[in-house]
Amino acid sequence: MAAVMPAPATFRIAPSILSADFARLGEEVAAVEAAGADLLHFDVMDNHYVPNLSIGPLVCASLRPRTGLQIDVHLMVKPVDRIIPEFAKAGANIISFHPEASEHVDRTLALIRECGCKAGLAFNPATPLSHLEHTLDKLDLVLLMSVNPGFGGQQFIASVLPKIAEVRKKINASGRDVWLEVDGGVKIDNIAEIAKAGADTFVAGSAVFGSKDYAATLREMRARLAVV
Ligand code: DX5
Ligand code: ZN
């Protein structure tokens, strides 16, 4: 069990549309927004950096006029730089990438900001936090994967809990407003424990889109967060 960190003031829930019904994507996005989502998590997979293929800028651009939510783009692609301006043009608000997928992490972070988006760095379960050493002052978001990237519906890897606590300490020490997003296997039953470890932003794909009542699921997640 990870150390209990001071609870951040705000919690955000970001449903991942990877688990939505793609035949009705616009309706699914509207439904999850009406149900009280805070952000829209947009998983981009390239069948190269990860063994799956999902959605690109065209889908982002199609959804942009259909939602007032911030679009939180999680790039699981290699290379990353070429696609960043495309996502910015398509209406992305936040763009995160994996350091292993960029030859020049600092340059990629600068590119995201030049494009007018918030910048995030994504860590796989086995990616060391040393990548934060020279980047934290340039980040708006740290995305910690709690499954190996590539698929929705996987089991939360509990050994990520102490890593969340470690990142929370680094963010608090920086004094900057950096969001700490946890992605993978987040459910009603573990969201409080993940928040206690220090996360403030929660990606939930199958837990939301796999449920019958999105509003009830989000309400229950918030109820669990309220007592953290
Ligand atoms: C995995 C993706 C996640 C995933 C989350 O590569 O980054 O966002 O879709 O899905 P669940 O919540 O089902 O684990
Ligand atoms: Zn993701």
Domain annotation for the chain: domains and CATH numbers:
12-226 (3.20.20.70)
Residue 151 CA: which ligand is closest? 1
Query: What is the C-alpha radius of gyration for the chain, rounded to an integer number of angstroms?
Result: 16
The string of pLDDT tens digits covering residues 114-145 is 999 999 999 999 999 999 999 999 999 999 99
User: What is the structure's pLDDT at 1?
Assistant: 45
Look-up: residue for tokens 């982002």?
A: 60
User: What is the structure's pLDDT at 8?
Assistant: 57
Strand-pair partners of 141: 120, 179
The string of pLDDT tens digits covering residues 99-120 is 999 999 999 999 999 999 999 9
User: What is the structure's pLDDT at 5?
Assistant: 53
Residue 149 CA: which ligand is closest? 1
> What are the distances in angstroms from CA 105 to CA 1, 101, 132, 162, 165?
32, 9, 11, 25, 24
Per the rule left: phi > 0, alpha: psi between -120 and 50, beta: everything else, 190 is: alpha
pTM of the model: 0.96
SS3 155: coil
> What are the distances in angstroms from CA 41 to CA 19, 130, 176?
11, 25, 23
Please indicate whether residue 39, judged by its CB atom, sits closer than 6 Å to ligand 1: no
Q: Which residue numbers are catalytic?
A: 43, 183
Separation of CA 186 and ligand 1 centre (Å): 9
The string of pLDDT tens digits covering residues 37-59 is 999 999 999 999 999 999 999 99
Q: How confident is the model at residue 7 (pLDDT cuts 50, 70, 90)?
A: very low
Q: Looking at residue 212, what DSSP letter applies?
A: S
**Amino acid making up residue 29:** V
- Listed in sequence order, the DSSP H helices in 6-160 are 25-34, 57-63, 84-89, 105-114
Separation of CA 42 and ligand 2 centre (Å): 7
